[in-house]
A and B are shown apart, each in its own frame.
Chain A
Amino acid sequence: MTELTAAYPVTDADLARLQARLTSAAADADLLDVAYRLHDTPLGTLLLAATPRGLVRVAFAVEGHDAVLQELADRVSPRVLPAPGRLDAVARELDEYFSGGRASFDVPLDWQLSAGFRRTVLEHLAAEVGYGATASYAALATLAGSPRAVRAVGSACATNPIPVVVPCHRVVRSDGSPGRYRGGEQAKLALLALEAA
């Protein structure tokens, strides 16, 4: 009986209103395990996701945002909801970074998607390779305390869950070529060019 369904029209505005109310109630009840928003940048639309502990994932469009949300549901918590307000600070800092007005990020990070040696590598990278600088995979391996683990450093950078904010784009091959990047080689080159300007 389609006439019956048509008698109860549900508009996009209805759903937007209810979704915002749900997000707010979920936050009040401590049920907002993964908050996310989409954010437009010069590198395309980024998906930003945070747990109550901090920023847990930055994803490029080429990764497939639906696939990333599914990954977050699998690995962090299935309680995933859009909650733009939770990511306002990150979005603002990214805007400042892309306009050349910010050299480092100071939002809290949740490292849970990166474990063991990979996490050690990324923490050294975040702390020791600053804006405008680059490091080779070998140099980062040395910084992380395992000079021979160059390939493992490559994997750590290629699977960095928080790209841009954790600056794996600053890690390049010894021959100067950019190397693998989650957002694609063009994105890596664009970030290096931005920081060199």
Chain B
Amino acid sequence: MAAPGKLEPVPRKPPFDAVVTQHGPAVLRVARAVVGPVDADDAWSETFLAALRAYPDLPADANVEAWLVTIAHRKAIDVVRAASRRAVPMAEPPERQHATNLDMSTDRDAGIDPDAGIDLVAAVAALPDKQRRAVAYHYFGGLPYADVADVLGGTATAARRAAADGIAALRLTMGARP
């Protein structure tokens, strides 16, 4: 307890709106990478609704991004489960549909080679689950490997290895691009 009259700087919790603005884009990238573009909106929305519910109890000095990615991780698992319950057999494997659905949005984005984006998104979708999540949480979520390990289970070394293997596979794909 602080001595009377001695003011300690109290961290102030930002309005939730500021959290959405600051971290919304990163969480959407995580969601798109982990569950694909079709279910990403659902995963994002479930994540931020759960975060809003719990926000008053979050310590003011908590790492908000790590907290959000942890929630996003759980919600992504829920969304994927729900999608697989809904799923009907389809002619086209999900990974291909995943890439096709991004066609329009990447084409609009000037300055980025749309083909490169689509290749990368397809390559991310084709990664083994643990590698894909490690890449997403570290590179999009901004989590250090110790935090990635907390989310995924296992050690920080294993998380670093999974992300490195994922990136190596992506580089291979990009290098093989004509």
Interface size bucket, A side? 20 to 34
A21 and B41 form a contact (CB under 8 A): yes
Beta-carbon contacts under 8 Å, A1-48 to B: 1, 3-11, 14-15, 17-19, 21-22, 25-26, 29, 31, 34, 36
A4 and B32 form a contact (CB under 8 A): no
- List the B side residues contacting A7 at CB < 8 Å: 106, 112, 116-118, 120-121, 124
B120 and A5 form a contact (CB under 8 A): no
B20 and A22 form a contact (CB under 8 A): yes
Q: Select from chain B the residue with minimum beta-carbon distance to A28.
A: B49
B52 and A31 form a contact (CB under 8 A): yes
Report if A22-B48 is in contact (Cβ < 8 Å); known contacts: A78-B13, A78-B16: yes
A1 and B139 form a contact (CB under 8 A): yes
Report if A14-B28 is in contact (Cβ < 8 Å); known contacts: A6-B112, A9-B109, A70-B12: yes
A10 and B29 form a contact (CB under 8 A): yes
| Count of chain A to chain B residue pairs whose CB atoms are closer than 8 Å in the complex | 107
B55 within 8 A of A: yes
A72 within 8 A of B: yes
A74 within 8 A of B: yes
Q: Select from chain A the residue with minimum beta-carbon distance to B49.
A: A25
Complex CA–CA separation, A4 to B21 (angstroms) = 21
**A148 to nearest B CB, angstroms?**
31
B28 and A18 form a contact (CB under 8 A): yes
Complex CA–CA separation, A78 to B148 (angstroms) = 27
**A52 to nearest B CB, angstroms?**
15
Report if A3-B105 is in contact (Cβ < 8 Å); known contacts: A10-B25, A31-B49: no
B32 and A8 form a contact (CB under 8 A): yes
**A6 to nearest B CB, angstroms?**
5
A164 within 8 A of B: no
A173 within 8 A of B: no
Complex CA–CA separation, A65 to B20 (angstroms) = 17
Contact of B49 among A10, A11, A29 (CB under 8 A): A29
Complex CA–CA separation, A55 to B76 (angstroms) = 37
Q: Select from chain B the residue with minimum beta-carbon distance to A9.
A: B109
Contact of A79 among B16, B21, B24 (CB under 8 A): B16
A3 and B14 form a contact (CB under 8 A): no
A144 within 8 A of B: no
A73 within 8 A of B: yes
A81 within 8 A of B: yes
- List the B side residues contacting A80 at CB < 8 Å: 15-17
- List the A side residues contacting B140 at CB < 8 Å: 4-5, 8
Contact of B41 among A8, A18, A69, A82 (CB under 8 A): A18
Complex CA–CA separation, A31 to B117 (angstroms) = 37
A6 and B117 form a contact (CB under 8 A): yes
Report if A15-B24 is in contact (Cβ < 8 Å); known contacts: A69-B15, A73-B12: yes
A99 within 8 A of B: no
Interface residues of A (CB under 8 A from B): 1, 3-11, 14-15, 17-19, 21-22, 25-26, 29, 31, 34, 36, 69-70, 72-74, 77-82
27 A-B residue pairs with CB within 8 Å: A3-B116, A4-B120, A4-B124, A4-B139, A4-B140, A7-B120, A8-B29, A8-B121, A9-B112, A10-B28, A15-B21, A17-B41, A18-B24, A18-B28, A19-B24, A26-B52, A31-B52, A73-B15, A78-B15, A78-B55, A79-B16, A79-B52, A79-B55, A79-B56, A80-B16, A81-B17, A81-B20
Shortest Cβ-Cβ A-B pairs, 5 listed = A80-B15, A7-B120, A73-B15, A7-B117, A10-B25
